[in-house]
């Protein structure tokens, strides 16, 4: 288990920054726009000064969508550093919906984020470490 350096609770959803520099989201049920705003604000504080961000999103208990318009959701994350996002535990329906949202967000935001889906957390974390090494082979555990 990775040590938690900071934690945030937003409704039923948990977020934390691990000592390894990965921001972890545990999504439970639906995510309201207010909850997403709270999560985005907390994340911005964790990401301050970072050139890149590594995120692991556990969708095992996700109900499949974020309420609110895509434009509103995308605006919450505008101006943030590039992200490598590993999504784990998503059902077929959740993964399908997430792919649509990701594509639409790319069009609205005009930038790419590297997003991949994995069956479990171990595979997602392995990919994040691989991406970290490729983006900056001299980086320590935390991408800075």
Domain extent listing, the chain: 4-135
Which residues are registered as beta bridge partners of 16?
A: 7, 24
pLDDT tens series, the chain, 144 aa: 677 888 999 999 999 998 888 999 999 998 888 888 898 889 888 888 888 889 999 999 888 666 666 677 677 777 777 789 999 999 888 888 778 777 776 776 666 678 899 999 999 999 999 998 887 654 544 343
Quote the tokens at residue 130. 């691989």
pLDDT of the residue at 141? 41
pLDDT of the residue at 70? 66
Q: Decide the pairing of beta strands 114-118 and 4-10.
A: unpaired
pLDDT of the residue at 142? 39
pLDDT of the residue at 56? 94
For the sheet containing 53-66, what is the strand order?
Answer: 4-10, 13-18, 22-31, 53-66, 83-88, 114-118
Between the CA of residue 111 and those of 79, 80, 108, what are the distances in Å?
10, 11, 8
CATH class of 4-135: alpha beta
What is the pTM (predicted TM-score) of this model? 0.82
């Amino acid at each position: 288990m990775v040590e938690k350096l900071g934690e945030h609770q937003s409704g039923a959803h948990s977020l934390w920054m691990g000592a390894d520099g990965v921001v972890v989201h545990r999504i439970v049920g639906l995510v309201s726009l207010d909850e997403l705003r709270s999560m985005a604000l907390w994340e911005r504080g964790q990401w301050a000064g970072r050139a890149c961000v590594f995120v692991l999103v556990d969708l095992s208990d996700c109900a499949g969508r974020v309420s609110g318009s895509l434009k509103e959701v995308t605006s919450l994350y505008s101006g943030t550093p590039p992200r490598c996002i590993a999504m784990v535990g998503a059902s077929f329906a959740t993964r399908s919906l997430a792919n649509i949202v990701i594509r639409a967000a790319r069009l609205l935001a005009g930038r790419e984020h590297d997003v991949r889906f994995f069956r479990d957390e171990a595979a997602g974390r392995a990919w994040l470490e691989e991406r970290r090494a490729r983006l900056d082979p001299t980086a320590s555990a935390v991408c800075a």
